[in-house]
Structure 1
Amino acid sequence: MISTGGLSPILAIGLIARNRDQFETSLRNEPVAKREIEAFKERIGSIGSVDELLKDGQVFGFVMKAFGLESEIFAKAMMKKIMTSDPLDKTSLVNKLSDSRYREINKVMGFDTDGTVARVDFGSAAWTDALVERYVDQRLIDGQMDANPSVGIALDFERKVPTLTSWYKVLADKSMGQFFRTAFGLPASVGQGDVDSQVRLFEKRMKIEELQDPAVQQKLVRQYAAIAGALDPGPRQAGILDLFSNTGGAWTPITINLEAISQFSASSYRRGL
């Protein structure tokens, strides 16, 4: 995988945005990723139940990585319960868990409560390709989380933003809470406060509905990247830029008015202030 370690967040995020295909191709060509993708595509169509999925360690591992649940690979009993939970039953396990990743894996895998495959498109080319794309996207995020955490968090925001329909949902996700506190210019100590207080602070800066405006999303990412870079002015190097001819290996330093940032609101974003 191409690493952005050593680059400022604002530069690295822009670099990935302009060269996303190259980053993803590099990831797909990694030996481990290549083997896992091939195994998934070859064998997922023959799986007919959640038990069969759990028995195939390579395919199950692929699925878990695709949903950012690699750390839970060995929790097979719990994952079986989650994937066979009834999403329409408010008392079911999947609906009791605050982490949206569990609801996503339950929905996308689509097993019935008896563990059999219920999705009519399970294993189809379109469904399989969509999961491969999810896997590549998540591996890119995970890799950047390790190499350049601020970049990983920004990429995670871009992936999750369509699902962020309430500030409580935002704060239930550790990385999303960090993203917004930084983007809004709030001190990290705010994250130690109670959830209701944080929600009120966020609501003063933006209505959650405005988050679905693409222009607001883009400016939030730029704002986050600028502040994250200013808060972590560690040593930077631009050697990676030589890999991408369209960047010319050049970058422009920025200055940030943190007092102005703390007054952030979505309306000022749209006015371009």
Structure 2
Amino acid sequence: MSYQPVIPLDGFVGWRFLQRTLPSQSAAHASTPMAQRDEAYVRENIGAITSAQELVADRRMLRIALTAYGLAEDLPNRAYIEKVLESSTKEEGSFVNRLTDKRYHKLAEAFAFGDRLVPRTQLPSFADDLIAKFQNRSFEEAVGAQNDNMRMALALERDLSELAGQDSSESAKWFTILGTPSLRRVFETAFMLPSSFGTLDIDRQVDILQSRTERLTGSDSISQFTDPEAMNALTERFFLAGQVQAIQAQSAGSSALSLLQNGQASLNALLGR
């Protein structure tokens, strides 16, 4: 039986509970028989994987690898994933470097089939790293099955902290946010941006996000999110905005139902029913 995370409350209060219990809950998830079998499979077989073709041919290992990098939905797209894995992350204009979604770049970089004569699967630490990422993502998926906003907050805490600490320009970091679906969604939700936001010129999108972030935290820098206080401010705003949107959607649904019921009553009156 798979582990079901305990999330007794919604919103930011529920998030605080999940944070406090995260070590014990994630450990319980990792100790389930299914998780233990997957861990054993990686340790026994990852060393035999030396090419993108071999990884894609091993459906179980591919599932674990894709889940570890947030790409579980791509399991059926094996030809596409093989092309991603064979692509060099170091060559400008390579296939993976042309992709907007930065998750593919992280996947290709992790295995390094296109960058090294000897792939990273042969490193002694590779199995531990892959298993840790897989278990974290699997736990997030289990959380998301109950509350998707909680899943997004977990992804935010991991990915934004990592991005904030990178030695790259602020512009590059903002472009990475726009190219990472989970990060993009958190920022768009937190600032209640319309669906048309994504149709704007990408530089304009960055300008808007920077401006809204500065109003929230006092800085438009992504590097600030190494500070737990800044991270907490964004996370709280994300949950509050999500609750507002849920209330608005519920109100809109109630209004539509009311209009439909009134219209039906009027029609019945005209028909003499």
TM-score (norm 2): 0.74
Provide the residue aligned with 1:138 in structure 2. Answer: 137
TM-superposition CA deviations, 1:196-255 (whole Å, max 9, x none): 443222221331344434121122112222332344369xxxxxxxxxxxxxxxxxxxxx
* Bigger Rg, which one: 2
Provide the residue aligned with 1:163 in structure 2. Answer: 163
Equivalent of residue 82 in structure 1, options 76, 81, 84: 84
Provide the residue aligned with 1:122 in structure 2. Answer: 122
Tell me the amino acid that sits aligned with residue 18 of structure 1: R
Shift of 1:146: 2.4
Unmatched runs of 5 consecutive residues or more in structure 2:
165-171, 215-219, 249-273
Alpha carbons of structure 1 residues 203 and 48: separation in structure 2 relative to 1, 3 Å: closer
Moved more, 161-170 or 97-106: 161-170
Equivalent of residue 51 in structure 1, options 43, 50, 53: 53
Secondary structure of the 1:232 match is helix
Alpha carbons of structure 1 residues 9 and 190: separation in structure 2 relative to 1, 3 Å: farther
Shift of 1:122: 2.6
Shift of 1:5: 5.4
Alpha carbons of structure 1 residues 82 and 29: separation in structure 2 relative to 1, 3 Å: same
Provide the residue aligned with 1:256 in structure 2. Answer: none
User: Which one has the bigger helix percentage?
Assistant: 2
Provide the residue aligned with 1:208 in structure 2. Answer: 221
Secondary structure of the 2:91 match is coil
Q: Are the aligned partners of 2:89 and 2:114 in contact in 1 as well (CA < 8 Å)?
A: no
Equivalent of residue 185 in structure 2, options 166, 178, 183: 178
Q: Are the aligned partners of 2:97 and 2:105 in contact in 1 as well (CA < 8 Å)?
A: yes
Provide the residue aligned with 2:217 in structure 1. Answer: none
Off by >4 Å, runs of 4+ in structure 1: none
Residue 12 of structure 2 corresponds to residue 10 of structure 1: yes
Alignment length (residue pairs)? 230
Alpha carbons of structure 1 residues 212 and 158: separation in structure 2 relative to 1, 3 Å: same
Q: Are the aligned partners of 2:197 and 2:205 in contact in 1 as well (CA < 8 Å)?
A: yes
Residue 65 of structure 2 corresponds to residue 63 of structure 1: yes
Shift of 1:152: 1.0
Q: Are the aligned partners of 1:68 and 1:101 in contact in 2 as well (CA < 8 Å)?
A: yes
Shift of 1:127: 2.2
Alpha carbons of structure 1 residues 200 and 20: separation in structure 2 relative to 1, 3 Å: same
Alpha carbons of structure 1 residues 92 and 36: separation in structure 2 relative to 1, 3 Å: same
Alpha carbons of structure 1 residues 26 and 105: separation in structure 2 relative to 1, 3 Å: same
Provide the residue aligned with 1:221 in structure 2. Answer: 235
Unmatched runs of 5 consecutive residues or more in structure 1:
235-273
Relative contact order, higher structure (CA 8 A, sep 6+): 1
| Aligned equivalents of 1:34, 1:66: Cα separation in 2 | 15
| Aligned equivalents of 1:168, 1:105: Cα separation in 2 | 18
Tell me the amino acid that sits aligned with residue 191 of structure 1: F
Report % sequence identity: 21
RMSD of aligned C-alpha atoms?
Answer: 2.6
Q: Are the aligned partners of 1:4 and 1:147 in contact in 2 as well (CA < 8 Å)?
A: no
Q: Are the aligned partners of 2:174 and 2:222 in contact in 1 as well (CA < 8 Å)?
A: no
Residue 231 of structure 2 corresponds to residue 232 of structure 1: no
Alpha carbons of structure 1 residues 187 and 118: separation in structure 2 relative to 1, 3 Å: closer
Shift of 1:113: 6.1
| Aligned equivalents of 1:192, 1:106: Cα separation in 2 | 26
Tell me the amino acid that sits aligned with residue 163 of structure 1: L
Q: Are the aligned partners of 2:177 and 2:183 in contact in 1 as well (CA < 8 Å)?
A: yes
| Aligned equivalents of 1:7, 1:17: Cα separation in 2 | 12
